[in-house]
Structure 1
Amino acid sequence: MRGALRALFGGRARRRWVHLILGGALAMPYVLVGSVIVGPFTGVDNVFGSLPLQLGSFALGLPMAALTSLFPLTRPLESAAVRALCGVEGDDALAHGPARTRAERARTALWFTLHLGFGGIVAGMSLAVPPFAVVLIVLPLFARLRRTPLALPHALDHSWALALSPLAGLAMLLGLAACAAGCGALLARWAPALLGPTAQDRLAAAEARAADLAVRNRLARELHDSVGHALSAVTLQASAARRLLGTDPEFVREALAAIEDTTRRTVGELDAVLGVLRDGDAPDAAPAPTLAGDLDGLLRRTRAAGQPVTATVATAPAALPALVSREAYRIVQEGLSNALRHAGTPVAVRIAVADGRLEITVENPLGAAPAPRPGGGHGLRGVADRVRLLGGTAHAGASGDTWRLSVRLPLTTPTTGAAGATTARPLPKGSV
């Protein structure tokens, strides 16, 4: 019983009732226009004095409502009303924008017609039924009401009819509530089909979300690689400068200059990334570093931090494709960052081209075990993502007494969407 009462008079049912009343209010101008047509056609001056003529005016008004629903704002306004009043769950269940295709406009016209049709009927019943039902309920208590037109005096000549009139009044109110609840439930059920996005809309939204996620992941990798490497280098440079402050002023000056250069470059990259996050586009942002543009600077700043680095470059970085050169720079940077944070021993970097692939190797003797970090590191995971997107392979781990990061990148971009185009092997979790 409680569930039935909630279905008829609960908060959701009342909101849907309000939605239907709004539909009836929207239908009134069309009914008035229909009455202007019905009146002269039938020769009746007072169309609203006849229920059949009222229904005829209502029937003529609905096609006009369907035509006016083709205005662009109809669909988003109706969708907003359904979200607020009909209890349709899911933000993506209903479309946000105007109808664009012929099928969408046809569904919008059908929905608007149903809303105004059901709303007009329920609104008319809501105006007519409650007064009549209240008279029936209180009729046994007031003898004077038994001679009013609303009381149907001829039907109340029998005492049993008079006794049952309150029950009849309550039944009419329950029937009105049931009609409103049923119409509201039907509209809520049909709303996603008539006002919801099409399959093409859902596909476009999914592609937009995927593209946004890809951009965010790329920006997260850029932040990790640039800021993480800079912080590691600056920490070691500052530590070395502090230890030699009183004994080697020249080294201290070089370390401070390296810190200044590192932080200036990192702030520029950070501004570029934040510009993309803030504005969605950063046309004036500094370009991402590449092997051709900054490999020498990367090696110089790493050596200034006190890390011995030997580099063998057996190819011309300027001849590499821009995308490969950019990702290769970040991979080398991550390999050097690992050595700065964990090894503290000489690092050997080798970059060469063989069999149409760019080969990158970063090696250093195994030092102290890395300090554990909550959730593990993200550097080598980012390397694996970069390599996978380019269709290359990556391996990282201990080989004897040497830690080796080995990456092979194709010099041509893999075909987008090809199944199995990427073959990056997952790197050991927590290695960074």
Structure 2
Amino acid sequence: MLRGAFGPGRAAGGVRDAVRLLIGRRARLRWVHLILGGALAMPYFLVGSVIIGPATGSTDVFGSFPLQLASFGVGLPIAAVSSLFPTARPLEAANARWLCGVDTDRIASGPARTWGERVRTAAWFTLHLGIGGIIAGMSLALPPFAAVLIALPAFAWLGGTRLGLPEVFDHSWALALAPVAGVASLVALAGCAAGCGALLARWAPVLLGPTPEDRLAAAEARAAELAVRNRLARELHDSVGHALSAVGLQASAARRVLDADPEFVREALAAIEETTRRTVGELDAVLGVLREGDAPGTAPAPTLAADLDGLLRRTRAGGLRVTARVEADPEALPPLLSREAYRILQEGLSNALKHAGERVAVDVCVAAADGQLEITVENPLSGTPSSRPGGGHGLRGIADRVRLLGGTAAAGPTPDRTWRLHVNLPMKGPA
């Protein structure tokens, strides 16, 4: 067991993980991000050198490492001030997403709107340029130095003094250790770059992440998108689902009485033609919303005022004996209420078509009383119910519509073996 835990395979895997951590794709991208920060820091470094030179009386700032560090330190506050502009945040956020590997939802994409967002952006920009400038300087200096150390033994025959090297390299042990020191410096550079890149990736969501207001706006946008999708799903289910159920039952009934009742067959075929024509128009209207860049379809949404009689006629053509009592004026209903009530009644009749059986009597009542529009659909549970795989979304769609309108709905069997759907919709209110 110990051999399996500490064997050659596990050791090789650990080496691969270490190499991936230091020079893997993510580490390389973060290194590029740091080098980019160093490049962005150069103009501010030059401005800092212009300030440090006269302040110290030096005419050669670049010849002194302490003065270079001072120039770099003076340039960073200038960089922080310049990043207070709103457009700095989207640019830095894009770099953090693409190069640091930070998840998109953890980084804000819009410009800074408040002073708090601007200050955090300035802190991030300063951190990016500061660490990036250090890593960029190391990336310029260490590789040539490491290359000299690695190649030094190959030129040992020339002699240390003849190469202008320190006298310590006159010793054989120093020449033997020079390549090791060169490789170690490269590993140290890769480790520093990987560590600094991971540090920036960790701080990016804190300094560039969305504020609570941004998260709330994103949640509201997502909720609005889901609401549109749910509404389209309801429309497709209620219109296309009802039409397919009705057409299937009408065709089945017409086939069975093809020779015995030609008049009924003609009515069923006419109803099939009318149903499919209307459904194609409704489908085009719904799909037009989904097509990006296309104008929505022009087919009007059906309402009680426009198509109540047609809905009842097409349902009767499917074999149901529908008795309807309309005690409300469909023309007086608000358009939204009339449209949603039509869909609710359509779904109730569709359920009767699918589950009540053939030649079953269905009672429909549409009435207005006390500021409420009442819709009732009743049918006996006796008979041979029609069945189809899937389904089960109709009552949930009715419940969604009723809830959005601020009404109530109840559906289920009654003690006298009758299925009853009863809906109350306020004629004024949340709709």
TM-score with structure 2 setting the length: 0.84
Shift of 1:282: 5.6
Contact 1:226–1:269 (CA<8 Å) still a contact in 2?
A: yes
Shift of 1:412: 3.7
Shift of 1:33: 3.5
CA distance, structure 2, for counterparts of residue 279 and residue 6 of structure 1: 42
Query: Structure 1 residues 203, 185: CA separation in 2 closer, same or farther (over 3 Å shift)?
Result: same
**What amino acid does structure 1 have at the position aligned with 2:402?**
V
Shift of 1:209: 0.7
Can you give the 5+ residue segments of structure 1 that lack an aligned partner in the other structure? 416-432
| CA deviation vs aligned residue, 1:195-223 (integer Å, no higher than 9, x gap) | 21111111111111111111111111111
1:268 to 281, 297, 313: 281
Match of 1:87 in 2: 101
Shift of 1:59: 2.5
1:365 matched to 2:380? The reply is yes
Shift of 1:158: 6.6
1:386 matched to 2:401? The reply is yes
Query: Structure 1 residues 282, 311: CA separation in 2 closer, same or farther (over 3 Å shift)?
Result: farther
* Root-mean-square deviation (Å): 3.0
Secondary structure of 2:374 counterpart: strand
Paired residues, number: 412
Match of 2:76 in 1: 62
CA distance, structure 1, for counterparts of residue 246 and residue 380 of structure 2: 19
Match of 1:207 in 2: 220
1:309 to 322, 327, 333: 322
Query: Structure 1 residues 159, 254: CA separation in 2 closer, same or farther (over 3 Å shift)?
Result: closer
Query: Structure 1 residues 340, 320: CA separation in 2 closer, same or farther (over 3 Å shift)?
Result: same
Shift of 1:79: 2.1
1:25 to 39, 56, 63: 39
Moved more, 339-348 or 136-145: 136-145
Shift of 1:329: 1.3
Can you give the 5+ residue segments of structure 2 that lack an aligned partner in the other structure? 1-13
CA distance, structure 1, for counterparts of residue 353 and residue 263 of structure 2: 22
Kindly report which structure 2 residues correspond to 1:393-432, keeping only aligned pairs within 5 A, or say none.
Answer: 393-399=408-414, 400-414=416-430
Kindly report which structure 2 residues correspond to 1:234-313, keeping only aligned pairs within 5 A, or say none.
Answer: 234-242=247-255, 250-279=263-292, 285-313=298-326
Kindly report which structure 2 residues correspond to 1:68-147, keeping only aligned pairs within 5 A, or say none.
Answer: 68-88=82-102, 90-143=103-156, 144=158, 146-147=160-161
CA distance, structure 2, for counterparts of residue 316 and residue 307 of structure 1: 25
Secondary structure of 1:413 counterpart: coil
| CA deviation vs aligned residue, 1:81-120 (integer Å, no higher than 9, x gap) | 22222222x3201122222322222222221221111111
CA distance, structure 2, for counterparts of residue 294 and residue 155 of structure 1: 101
Contact 1:135–1:150 (CA<8 Å) still a contact in 2?
A: no
Query: Structure 1 residues 312, 155: CA separation in 2 closer, same or farther (over 3 Å shift)?
Result: same
Moved more, 172-181 or 202-211: 172-181
CA distance, structure 2, for counterparts of residue 306 and residue 111 of structure 1: 72
**What amino acid does structure 2 have at the position aligned with 1:408?**
N
Moved more, 109-118 or 78-87: 78-87
Shift of 1:327: 2.0
Moved more, 210-219 or 229-238: 229-238
| CA deviation vs aligned residue, 1:3-57 (integer Å, no higher than 9, x gap) | 5444333332222112111211222233233334444555545432222232233
Moved more, 158-167 or 221-230: 158-167
Match of 2:8 in 1: none
Contact 2:288–2:297 (CA<8 Å) still a contact in 1?
A: no
Match of 1:34 in 2: 48
Query: Structure 1 residues 11, 97: CA separation in 2 closer, same or farther (over 3 Å shift)?
Result: same
Match of 1:231 in 2: 244
Could you tell me the percent identity over the aligned residues?
A: 73
Contact 2:303–2:338 (CA<8 Å) still a contact in 1?
A: yes
Moved more, 41-50 or 356-365: 41-50
Kindly report which structure 2 residues correspond to 1:325-364, keeping only aligned pairs within 5 A, or say none.
Answer: 325-342=338-355, 343-344=357-358, 345-364=360-379
Query: Structure 1 residues 221, 137: CA separation in 2 closer, same or farther (over 3 Å shift)?
Result: same
| CA deviation vs aligned residue, 1:408-432 (integer Å, no higher than 9, x gap) | 23334349xxxxxxxxxxxxxxxxx
Match of 1:427 in 2: none
1:53 to 57, 67, 74: 67
CA distance, structure 1, for counterparts of residue 87 and residue 162 of structure 2: 48
Secondary structure of 1:369 counterpart: coil
Secondary structure of 1:92 counterpart: helix
Secondary structure of 1:142 counterpart: helix
**What amino acid does structure 1 have at the position aligned with 2:39?**
A
Contact 1:139–1:146 (CA<8 Å) still a contact in 2?
A: no
CA distance, structure 2, for counterparts of residue 357 and residue 54 of structure 1: 81
CA distance, structure 1, for counterparts of residue 232 and residue 76 of structure 2: 53
**What amino acid does structure 2 have at the position aligned with 1:190?**
W
CA distance, structure 2, for counterparts of residue 110 and residue 280 of structure 1: 41
Contact 2:286–2:297 (CA<8 Å) still a contact in 1?
A: no
CA distance, structure 1, for counterparts of residue 69 and residue 25 of structure 2: 31
Contact 2:159–2:170 (CA<8 Å) still a contact in 1?
A: no
Shift of 1:160: 6.0
TM-score with structure 1 setting the length: 0.84
Contact 1:7–1:181 (CA<8 Å) still a contact in 2?
A: yes
Contact 1:129–1:173 (CA<8 Å) still a contact in 2?
A: yes
CA distance, structure 2, for counterparts of residue 349 and residue 65 of structure 1: 74
Match of 1:185 in 2: 198
Secondary structure of 2:384 counterpart: coil
CA distance, structure 2, for counterparts of residue 9 and residue 284 of structure 1: 54
1:323 to 289, 313, 336: 336
CA distance, structure 1, for counterparts of residue 164 and residue 98 of structure 2: 37
Query: Structure 1 residues 191, 305: CA separation in 2 closer, same or farther (over 3 Å shift)?
Result: same
Contact 2:288–2:296 (CA<8 Å) still a contact in 1?
A: no
